[in-house]
Amino acid sequence: MDIYINGLGNISPQNTISSDNFLTDINEVNEKYMQVVQPVYKEYISPKALRRMSKIVRMGVVSAQIAMKEAGIDMPDAINTGTGMGCQADTEKFLKSMLDNNESMLNPSAFIQSTHNTIGGSIALGLGCNNYNMAYVHRTFSYESALLDSMMLIEEGQGNNILVGGFDEITEESYQIRARINLFKNSACNNLNVLNDNQPGALAGEGAVFSVVSNDKTENSYCKIKGIDMFFNPDNQEEIDTRINDFISRYNLSANDIDLVIVGKNGDKEYDVIYDNVCNAVFPESDIAIYKNLCGEFDTSSAFAVWAGSNIIKRQDIPEVMQHSKKRDGKIRNILIYNQHRNVNHSVILLSEC
């Protein structure tokens, strides 16, 4: 069954809120981590409701609204969300309150709003949606799990327009914890030169990306999602190459049919070499693009890659800031998104023209 992306909403460290321009106005930062460009939220959410929402809830609710408006739907048949760390700021706020108040006389609001399904619940409450609503929390498989569930719901006839999103936020405390163990870079880094930075770890980031997926093709459809696969802790590079080749062959394609590969290189040289090995061994004739120089590293960053890949297919244009290796000309029909986290969680998503 063909499954189409009919609407997208993206709040990221770049100017991605409007669909009029596609990565033409690039934000260059030289910071320890990248933070989102926040829209004027009161244009989307009433001030009364806005006052009770944390940053990540605002990001998720607004990006979902934008995706639904673009898809032309008022009520989704299901809401699937994925997040690696959930509402970190509210979690930290509640834990700090426990310490400051000696675990007594606590305000429960921060705890209630700190759960991983807060964004999905907030979207549903705002819409009055009583349909299927699921939150997936599987670290760097979180967004892929939500997307896979959405595709299964459509294929099983349990829904037609599914709202699916991935989101994570960065806070100073969470950054410090991960930087201490070299998951993130310890000093400021220029995002547009991140692949040449010699510090261990990745450039941290954040974002919220929602899409409306459906089995109905419309005039606004971006592309088709052909398939998705995840694999865990491969033994060696050969196993990675074999898994990716086997995934492509399921859809009667060969590696040469992949016009563009979007890889999750993040500036951590120890693990970026895995992407280079895959591109050299499996996709020697394909164009290669990167995206984490635009949004940074976070558990659901592959949602940003899906947003970028969908726009590339629809517009038939690869933004210069994403181009990593240019080897072919012609129409972009098939895009493979490949992301991995420290050689443990690996995922591939295949997008094709409508």
Any idea which of 47-61, 66-80, 138-152 has the lowest mean pLDDT? 47-61
- Average the pLDDT over 84-104 and give the result: 83
3-state secondary structure the chain: CCCEEEEEEEECCCCCCCCCCCCCCCCCCEECECCCCCCCHHHCCCHHHHCCCCHHHHHHHHHHHHHHHHHCCCCCCEEEEECCCCCHHHHHHHHHHHHHCCCCCCCCHHHHCCCCCHHHHHHHHHHCCCCEEEEECCHHHHHHHHHHHHHHHHHCCCCCEEEEEEEECCCHHHHHHHHHCCCECCCCEEHHHHHHCCCCCECECCEEEEEEEECCCCCCCCEEEEEEEEEECCCCHHHHHHHHHHHHHCCCCCHHHCCEEEECCCCCHHHHHHHHHHHHHHCCCCEEEECHHHHCECCCCHHHHHHHHHHHHHHCCCCCCCEEECCCCCCCCEEEEEEEECCCEEEEEEEECC
* pLDDT tens digit sequence for 260-313: 999 999 999 999 999 999 999 999 999 999 999 999 999 999 999 999 999 999
Residue 104 — very low, low, confident or very high, per pLDDT cuts 50/70/90? confident
pLDDT of residue 90: 84
pLDDT surpassing 80 at residue 68: yes
pLDDT of residue 317: 96
Domain boundaries, the chain: 4-214, 223-352
Q: Which residue has the higher pLDDT, 209 or 18?
A: 209
* pLDDT tens digit sequence for 115-125: 889 999 999 99
pLDDT of residue 292: 98
pLDDT of residue 118: 93
The domain defined by 4-214 folds into: Peroxisomal Thiolase; Chain A, domain 1 (3.40.47)
| pTM higher than 0.85 | yes
The domain defined by 223-352 folds into: Peroxisomal Thiolase; Chain A, domain 1 (3.40.47)
Tokens of 337: 């998104």
pLDDT surpassing 80 at residue 114: no
- Is 340 within 8 Å of 346 (Cβ atoms)? yes
To the nearest whole number, what is the mean pLDDT of the chain?
Answer: 95
Any idea which of 94-98, 144-148, 239-243 has the lowest mean pLDDT? 94-98
Same fold across 4-214 and 223-352? yes
- Average the pLDDT over 214-227 and give the result: 96
pLDDT of residue 94: 79
pLDDT of residue 111: 73
Residue 35 — very low, low, confident or very high, per pLDDT cuts 50/70/90? very high
Residue 91 — very low, low, confident or very high, per pLDDT cuts 50/70/90? confident
